[in-house]
């Protein structure tokens, strides 16, 4: 993983200060610092694209597990199918200019997980992408992105769709999708795509 440089000195001070505070629960979390208007938002789409490149280069096998309203299925998939599923994370709202304009950034050090959390909250009503969290493991040698979490809400025809997407770097991603048709029962789908063999059995 490439070294992630935290551009604002204030963020380094935040990490030091937070380490001397009482433990913060993993959820819910309260922002320790608000950096609204920062020009140094994390390049979230680039993190995911870099991990996709690693999968293309090194993955020996890619497994997809699906659970639709409790009915389970699994099997290996080809790189093309992997890319189609992974592209759900590369939404237009992550474009750097648009993201800075329509999302508010805050950050905190979570003593429970020992990770620095960057929280991006949408301020544009009606936008599909609503919330993003980036979890970074700080280190004096190199800061590593551990995972990215996103929440989306949109409509597809007459169906309301909600998604919760988690990308675990160098291991897997999963997407929980809840579809509520205007007339009909809700359908919940969970898709997990794994390229680290250690997680195939999970």
pLDDT tens-digit series, residues 85-128: 999 999 999 998 889 999 999 999 999 999 999 999 999 888 89
Domain assignment present for residue 95? The answer is yes
Say how many Å lie between the first and final Cα of the chain, rounded.
Answer: 24
Cβ neighbour number for residue 107 with a 10 Å cutoff? 25
Q: What is the pLDDT of residue 59?
A: 67
Q: Is 191 helix (H, G, I), strand (E, B) or coil?
A: strand
Domain assignment present for residue 31? The answer is no
Domain assignment present for residue 32? The answer is no
Express each pLDDT in 9-33 by its tens digit. Answer: 344 333 334 444 433 333 333 333 4
Domain assignment present for residue 26? The answer is no
Express each pLDDT in 152-195 by its tens digit. Answer: 999 999 999 999 999 999 999 999 999 999 999 999 999 999 99
101 contacts 93 by C-beta, under 8 angstroms: no
Domain enclosing residue 136, as ranges? 9-19+42-199
Domain assignment present for residue 28? The answer is no
pTM score: 0.78
Domain assignment present for residue 178? The answer is yes
Domain count along the chain = 1
């Amino acid at each position: 993983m490439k070294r992630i440089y935290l551009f604002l000195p204030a963020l380094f001070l935040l990490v030091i200060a937070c380490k001397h505070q009482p433990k913060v629960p993993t959820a819910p979390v309260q922002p320790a610092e608000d950096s609204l208007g920062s020009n140094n938002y994390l390049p979230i789409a680039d993190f995911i694209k870099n991990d996709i490149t690693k999968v293309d280069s090194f993955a020996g096998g890619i497994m997809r597990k699906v659970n639709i309203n409790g009915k389970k299925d699994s099997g290996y998939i080809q790189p093309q199918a992997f890319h189609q599923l992974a592209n759900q994370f590369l939404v237009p709202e992550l474009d750097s200019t648009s993201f800075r304009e329509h999302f508010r950034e805050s950050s905190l050090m979570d003593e429970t997980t020992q990770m620095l959390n960057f929280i991006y909250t949408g301020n544009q009503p009606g936008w599909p992408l609503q919330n993003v969290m980036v979890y970074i493991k700080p280190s004096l040698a190199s800061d590593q992105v551990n995972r990215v979490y996103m929440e989306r809400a949109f409509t597809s025809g007459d169906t309301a769709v909600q998604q919760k997407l988690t990308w675990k770097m160098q291991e897997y991603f999963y997407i929980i999708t809840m579809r509520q048709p205007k007339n009909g029962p809700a359908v919940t789908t969970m898709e997990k795509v794994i390229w680290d063999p250690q997680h195939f059995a999970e």
